Chains A and B, each alone.
Chain A
Amino acid sequence: MTRLFTPKRSIPRSVEIGVGTAVAGSALLTWCLLSYLQLVSGAFLPRPDEVWTAFVKVLSNGSLFEHMQVSLTEIYIGFFLSSIIAVPLGIFMGSYRIVAAAIEPLVNFMRYLPVTALIPLLILWIGIGIEQKIAVIFLGTFFQQIVLCADVSANVSDDLYRVSYTLGVNRRQVITRVMLPATLPGVMDTLRVTMGWAWTFLVVAELVAASAGLGYMILQAMRGLHPATIFVGIFTIGILGLLTDLVFKMAKRWLLPWTVVH
């Protein structure tokens, strides 16, 4: 018993699964009670079986997959484009004063602009197609990723650089031999966190103006007063997020074995 409430101590696998299931189960149970006992009106809170029916419907007519595909394409392209530029730039910004001096003012200005404020401008410039969603995700994650990666790389211990120099590493080799591996765990965390934000930006962009995508599907369901379909959309986004997180966890195990040993 004391073991369970000691900070950072591991707990038995069975307990781990047990409490997780219990919490998720009680959330489900609460939902069932509220809806089946009509404690909340069906116009606001659909019953689980209604949600299931709605799910089967959008699944069989193919619309769920269509919307999902659109959303996933938008988010992956936007996130990928942002990451491949922001990660190296952020790492260099945190480690090289010259890079920081050059881009920090601009980055700090941009990162405090909520990307949602830019959506009208983006619609004006590039319309409401997939490009606009990609632009929203890109702008939303790019500057945050730079700042987070810069933090990670600024926190690499000086002694790691020093020791590598005394082992014969030169200024060019130090990038691949020390800077990149030392920042990798922090960069992975950054990607994982910003991926979550990217979903938010995506759905906001789709709610504002879109002709397809999960956010659009939710908006359409609201207009048609069909809360069950809204729930299907929300669950789908939740599950996709869960899967993405799982991929990050597995990538960590595979790419960063030294961070998972105990």
Chain B
Amino acid sequence: MAQVSIRNVALHFTSRRVGTVTALENLSLEIPDKQFAVIVGPSGCGKSSLLHLVAGLTEVSAGGCYVDDEVVTDPGADRGMVFQNYSLFPWLTVRKNVEFGLSIQNISADQRAQRAQHYIHAVGLNGFEDAYSSQLSGGMQQRAAIARALANDPQVLLMDEPFGALDSQTRTIMQELLLRIWEREQKTVLFVTHDIDEALFLGDVVYVMSGRPGTIVDSVGVTLERPRHYEMVTSSEFIELKRRIMVNLHREVEQAMMQNQEHLIG
């Protein structure tokens, strides 16, 4: 069980240079157990900040994040995260990276190796166990980062534009890979992306965020059947959903840009 609740959350940043920035305001979101929730929103609306809040890496300014009704105060191994920038530990091999979380929990070397091998296999990195991250392509690094997060068996998986830096072919392959793994593991996922196709292809529900200060302006249930296949992106159902999100998002992006302009002029 891992139900994520975000209740009336606000987040302000205060710095001397720009004063107080309200990144998130009055944001609420209920993500049921085992849901694949996707968040799309204009750049700078606070998507990464939201994931950081759920991960416990940043403190809320108001409201609270809850996992199974327990308030989040600190980061913990129950909420794994995959970052947009490749965040493998460069001094560790792929195997040691994947084992990292397990070694913190004092799990026996045998079991560690077995679990690591399982996930290295699941993301298709066999043969690269002893490679360092500098020897891997971007897609491979991101696969290793996913394996590292999964090997720790978190209840909630937070993914911040994990495929944002990949080319479109690699991206498609990674999306399918992620879905196959998710179908087996059945975790609650909170996935952030810019890409509407990606959002619809992966998600059970797509939440659309407004420009800063970010709140949820629309939630779109994705009725496409599972398991999903890439041909679905051309189905009329997919295109209908895409139109709805695009209209919403376009409006938000436009407003966000106008606001910024006013901000600059005024």
Q: State the A residues within 8 Å of B (CB).
A: 157, 159-160, 162-169, 173, 177-178, 181-182, 184, 256-258, 261-262
Contacts and interface: CB of A to CB of B under 8 A. Distances in A.
B256 interface: no
22 contacts: A162-B57, A162-B81, A163-B83, A163-B87, A164-B100, A165-B55, A165-B57, A165-B75, A166-B55, A166-B57, A166-B80, A167-B148, A168-B101, A168-B104, A181-B91, A182-B89, A182-B91, A256-B91, A258-B91, A258-B134, A261-B132, A261-B134
Nearest to B58: A162
Interface residues of B, number: 31
Given A157-B87, A167-B77, 16 more contacts: A162-B75, A162-B83, A163-B81, A164-B89, A165-B57, A166-B80, A166-B81, A167-B80, A167-B104, A167-B152, A173-B104, A182-B89, A258-B91, A261-B134, A262-B134, A262-B135
B105 interface: yes
Closest 8 CB pairs of A and B: A168-B77, A167-B101, A165-B75, A166-B81, A258-B132, A181-B91, A159-B87, A168-B104
A166 B75 contact: yes
Nearest to A256: B91
Contacts of B132: 257-258, 261
Interface in B128-157: 132-135, 145, 148-149, 152, 154
Interface of B: 52, 55-57, 75-77, 79-81, 83, 85, 87, 89-92, 100-101, 104-105, 132-135, 145, 148-149, 152, 154, 158
Contacts of B77: 166-168
Contact of B91 (A157, A173, A184): A184
B91 A261 contact: no
A64 B153 CA distance: 64
Contact of A168 (B83, B105, B134): B105
A182 B133 CA distance: 13
